[in-house]
Amino acid sequence: MALYFTSDTHFTDPRVLRIDRRPFATLAAHDEALIARWNDVVGPKDDIWHLGDFALGGPERIADLLGQLNGTKHLIIGNNDPPATVAASGWSSVQHYAEMTIGGQLFVICHYPFRTWNKMGQKSIDLHGHSHGRLKPMPRQYDLGVDAWDYRPVTLDEVLAKRRS
């Protein structure tokens, strides 16, 4: 069982093709590609945290999307997550903010990037989305949005290794 993170998939949201200039000819091609890339790395028994802005659409569309995606899914609510996304039964947990300790390291998790965060002075790490790879990162702060990660979820090892390289 592995642990993955992602953010800002914006399934079924036509604005991402225009505003974020994602390299897909159509919204259907965008959604298909992101589903495939998710399932290429996340297995059925893996945990995945989605750091907000999952999808637009009604309850049926959200349920359909969640059913197509591998893993035990947790949602950190983003500014573009409508009630149907937040209320969907396919999430194992739903919240605005989380903290988790992995291997003795504290991770602060929210959709939004913080200027300061809990235990920042004790080397905690901020994981966020929202900025679509456009913000200059601060030390120990990582944008986990799909725009920054080849439109796929990533492991913490991948994230931490990228910063070191």
Q: What does 3-55 look like in DSSP terms, one character per residue?
A: EEEEB---BT-THHHHHS--S-SSHHHHHHHHHHHHHHH--TT-EEEE-S--B
C-alpha closest to that of 19 among 8, 6, 28: 8
Query: Distance (Å, rounded) from C-alpha 127 to C-alpha 142?
Result: 5
In this predicted structure, what is the pLDDT of residue 139? Answer: 86
Residue 163 scores a pLDDT above 70:
no
Q: Is the pLDDT of residue 164 over 70?
A: no
Alpha-carbon distances of 114 from 36, 129, 138, 157, rounded to whole Å: 31, 10, 9, 21
CA angle 156, 14, 89 (to 5 degrees): 55
What domains can be seen in the chain, in order of their start residue? Answer: 3-164 (3.60.21.10)
Mean pLDDT value across residues 6-20: 90
Report the Cα–Cα distance between both ends of the chain, in Å, rounded.
26
- pLDDT of amino acid 165: 45
pTM: 0.94
Among 19-23, 99-103, 158-162, where is mean pLDDT lowest? 19-23
Strand bridging mode 125-128 / 72-76:
unpaired
The residues that bridge with 5 in the sheet, in sequence order, are 49, 154
Residues, the chain? 165
